Amino acid sequence: MKLVHISDIHLTVPGERMGGLNPHRRFAQALDDVRAQHSDAARIIITGDLTHWGEPAAYATLVDALIDLPCPVRLLIGNHDDRAAFLAAFPDHPQDAAGFINHAETVDGTRLIYLDTTEPRTHAGHFCSRRRDWLEAELSNCTHARLFMHHNAMALGLPAEDKIAIVPEDRGPLAALLTKYRDRIDYIHFGHVHAPVHGTWCGIPFAAVRSTGNQSLPNLNEQELLQGAPMAPSYGVILAQDTATTIHEIPFTWDGPIFSAGTNWDDWAKPMAAE
Ligand SMILES: [Fe+2]
Ligand SMILES: [Fe+2]
């Protein structure tokens, strides 16, 4: 099963820039690359910060952008999103009984669980008891699952970024829940940090992908300020085979030279000088 993981597209009202670049163009480039290279994907999953300021006109551009894709798209919201504006643009989108944008589906034998970690007017993530109850019901009823979320649940050793991870009062109970079901959670995939980060938490491997827009510079010393730069973006391609996982980072804006080489021993031999 191939899953395309895109994150932090930060769409604006058309004509407005985000961090000095055009987020619509970047997102369109990413989708064009997916169409060209990954038409066999089972899902395209966009893990939040769908818009930059949560405006209806920005969500309208997302509705239009998702036409004519090779497979279904699954959407999560992030701290830059507005739940009501999102639902106005996607009125048939699934919600849980409490109104959170939690949803799940089984694809190729794996439960894909898409979580809503947002809270109004804060950049930090939240995952309250109602959301944990919903997640526990999902985990208790599946054989194995893959979690997608916007926020990093765990601290990452980035003091400024860690201020807007899932808040500590929700992190502890979430860690207890995930630890309880760790044997059936294959991976945790998220965005929010605008950088590739990999590790394990509660005994479960995790990975974050870059933004399609601006990237963050991992600063392990800065205490207050997030630091970013218009570095090259990428999206992720997840190859999931039962409980096994391989993740590729796809630099979809690269337009420089590409070299080809065979893999036989002699293909890499030093060219012999002419005699
Ligand atoms: Fe973001
Ligand atoms: Fe975010």
DSSP per position, 143-171? S-EEEEESS-SS--S-HHHHTTSB-HHHH
Residues whose Cβ atom is located within 5 A of ion ligand 2: 49, 78-79, 192
pLDDT score at 273: 67
What is the CA(245)–ligand 1 centre distance, in A?
24
Reported pTM: 0.97
**How many A from CA of 80 to the centre of ligand 1?**
7
Taking only the tens of pLDDT, the chain with its 275 residues reads 999 999 999 999 999 999 899 999 999 999 999 999 999 999 999 999 999 999 999 999 999 999 999 999 999 999 999 999 999 999 999 999 999 999 999 999 999 999 999 999 999 999 999 999 999 999 999 999 999 999 999 999 999 999 999 999 999 999 999 999 999 999 999 999 999 999 999 999 999 999 999 999 999 999 999 999 999 999 999 999 999 999 999 999 999 999 999 999 999 998 886 65
If you measure from the C-alpha of residue 274 to the centroid of ligand 1, how many angstroms do you get, rounded to a whole number?
A: 55
The confidence score (pLDDT) of residue 30 equals 98
Q: Give pLDDT, residue 122.
A: 98
Distance CA 260, CA 275 (A): 27
How many Cα neighbours within 13 Å face the side chain of 207? 16
Residue 272: what pLDDT?
81
Contacts of 137 (CB under 8 A, 6+ apart): none
Q: Which three-class secondary structure state does DSSP give residue 198?
A: strand
Tell me, what's the pLDDT at 101?
98
* Ligand (nearest to CA of 51): 1
Query: How many angstroms separate the alpha carbon of residue 208 from the centre of ligand 2?
Result: 12
Distance (angstroms) between ligand 1 centre and the Cα of 108 equals 29
Give the pLDDT score at 275: 59
118 C-alpha to ligand 2 centroid (Å):
9
Which residues in 115-127 are b (16+ Cβ under 10 Å) and which e? bbbbbeeeebbbb
C-alpha of residue 151 to centroid of ligand 1, in Å: 9
Please give the distance, rounded to the nearest whole angstrom, from the Cα atom of residue 177 to the centre of ligand 2.
Answer: 23
Nearest to 10 by CA among 60, 67, 80: 80
Ranges of H-type helices in the chain = 23-37, 56-65, 83-89, 129-140, 159-162, 168-180
Give me ligand 2 centre to Cα 117, in Å.
Answer: 10
Ligand 1 centroid distance, CA of 150 (Å): 9
Q: How remote is the CA of residue 87 from the centroid of ligand 1, in Å? A: 19
The whole-angstrom distance between residue 98's C-alpha and the CA centroid of its chain comes to 23
Q: Which residues surround ligand 1, an ion (CB under 5 A)?
A: 8, 49
Q: Provide the token pair at 128.
A: 């309250």
Give yes or no for a contact between 172 and 179, defined as CB atoms under 8 angstroms apart: no
Distance (Å, whole) CA 221 – CA 159: 7
247-268: burial string, b at 16+ Cβ within 10 Å, e else: beebebeeeeeeeeeeeeeeee
